[in-house]
C-alpha cells in the first residue's frame, strides 16, 4: 500500500497539471472501493486545477477553489500522467483529459482505492478525513500529546504507529524502519514508553519519512511515481523484508503482529 512518502511523491509529480483546465473525463469503472459520484463529470468538465496537496495518505486536487477531488490509492493504485495519445491499460479506471493534451490516469489493479468529490469547505467534514490523527510530518506531532494518548495503552507500539486516528500517514513498511531507527522494540506497550523514548520515536518518524520522500518512496510491488519512475528507498531498508540479515551482533527477525509482518532486531531493540 502506498504510504505517506509515496503519496507525497505522487502529489509533487502532479505539479505538471497545476493550473490546467479539464476538457473531458472518462470513467471506465464506476465502482472502486466505493462508487464514483454521479455528478463528478459535470463538476470537473471545463474546470481548472487550482491546488494539489496531501492529507495523510489522501491526494487532494482542488478544483476552481470550490470543489476538491479526493483520491485514495488503496493497496495498488497509482496516478500517472501521459499524453493524450496514451493507449488505455485495462486497469486504467478513471482518466482526466486536459486542454494542453496531457491526461491524468487513475490505475488500480485491485480496485481498493477510491475517488470522491466534495465541496472544499466540506472536506474536513468527510468521515475519512475527520477521523484522522495528526499528520506524521506535522510540527503538531508532539511527544507530550502522544504520551497522554498512549500512557494507558496495552497495545504494542508497532500497532499504535499504524493507528491512523492517532498518527496519520505511517504504514507497515515504515513502522518497522522507524522503530529500528529509534531502537524501540515493536513489542513494547504504549503504557511502557517513557516520554524520552517518544521524543526519539518522533525524531525517527520525521527522519525516515523525509528520507523516503527524497528517494521517491519505496517500490516493492506496484508503486511508481506519476511519470513511471520507480521509488528507490527500498534499497535503504535496514530491517523491512531483511529477515536473517546480520546487524552488529544481532539478526533481523520476522514476527507477525495483528496479521502484519514486523521486522526488527531483538537485541538492538530490547526495551520491551
Q: What is the 3-state secondary structure (H, E, C) of 164-219?
A: CCCEECCCHHHHHHHHHHCCCCCCCEHHHCCHHHHHHHHHHHHHHHHHHHHCCCCC
Is the pTM for the entire model greater than 0.85? yes
Find the catalytic residue in 3, 6, 8, 177. 3
Q: Is 31 a catalytic residue?
A: no
Q: Is 165 a catalytic residue?
A: no
pLDDT attached to residue 87: 87
Q: Is 260 a catalytic residue?
A: yes
Which of 11, 85, 88 has the alpha carbon at shortest distance from 55?
11
pLDDT attached to residue 156: 97
Find the catalytic residue in 54, 57, 158, 224. 57
pLDDT attached to residue 219: 56
Measured between alpha carbons, how far is 258 from 244 in angstroms, rounded to an integer? 22
Blockwise average pLDDT, block size 10, the chain, 272 residues: 87 94 96 95 96 96 94 91 88 96 94 96 96 96 97 97 96 95 97 96 96 76 60 78 95 96 96 63
Sorted by where each starts, the structural domains of the chain and their CATH numbers stand as 4-130 (3.20.190.10), 135-264 (1.10.8.50)
Find the catalytic residue in 102, 245, 260, 266. 260
Question: Which cell numbers hold the place of 83?
Answer: 499524453
Q: Is 177 a catalytic residue?
A: no
Residues 115, 108 contacting (CB under 8 angstroms): no
Amino acid at each position: 500500500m502506498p504510504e505517506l512518502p509515496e503519496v507525497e511523491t505522487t502529489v509533487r509529480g502532479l505539479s505538471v497539471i497545476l493550473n490546467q483546465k479539464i476538457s473531458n473525463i472518462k470513467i471506465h469503472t464506476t465502482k472502486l472501493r466505493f462508487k464514483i459520484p454521479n455528478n463528478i463529470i459535470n463538476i470537473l468538465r471545463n474546470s481548472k486545477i487550482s491546488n494539489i496537496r496531501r492529507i495523510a495518505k489522501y491526494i487532494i486536487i482542488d478544483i476552481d477553489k470550490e470543489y476538491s477531488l479526493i483520491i485514495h490509492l488503496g493497496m495498488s493504485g497509482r496516478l500517472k500522467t501521459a499524453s493524450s495519445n496514451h493507449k488505455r491499460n485495462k486497469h486504467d479506471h478513471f482518466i482526466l483529459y486536459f486542454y494542453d493534451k496531457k491526461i491524468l490516469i487513475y490505475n488500480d489493479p485491485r480496485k481498493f482505492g477510491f475517488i470522491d468529490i466534495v465541496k472544499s469547505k466540506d472536506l474536513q467534514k468527510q468521515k475519512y478525513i475527520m477521523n484522522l490523527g495528526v499528520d506524521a510530518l506535522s510540527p503538531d506531532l508532539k511527544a507530550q500529546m502522544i504520551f497522554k494518548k498512549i500512557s494507558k495503552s496495552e497495545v504494542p507500539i508497532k500497532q499504535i504507529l499504524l493507528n491512523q486516528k492517532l498518527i496519520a500517514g505511517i504504514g507497515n513498511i515504515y513502522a518497522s524502519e522507524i522503530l529500528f531507527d529509534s531502537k524501540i522494540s515493536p513489542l513494547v506497550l504504549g503504557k511502557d514508553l517513557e516520554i524520552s523514548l517518544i521524543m526519539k520515536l518522533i525524531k525517527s518518524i520525521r527522519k525516515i519519512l523525509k528520507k523516503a520522500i527524497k528517494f521517491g518512496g519505496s517500490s516493492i510491488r506496484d508503486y511508481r511515481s506519476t511519470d513511471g519512475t520507480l521509488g528507490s528507498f527500498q534499497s535503504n531498508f535496514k530491517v523491512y523484508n531483511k529477515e536473517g540479515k546480520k546487524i552488529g551482533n544481532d539478526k533481523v527477525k520476522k514476527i507477525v503482529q495483528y496479521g502484519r509482518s514486523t521486522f526488527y532486531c531483538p537485541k538492538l531493540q530490547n526495551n520491551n
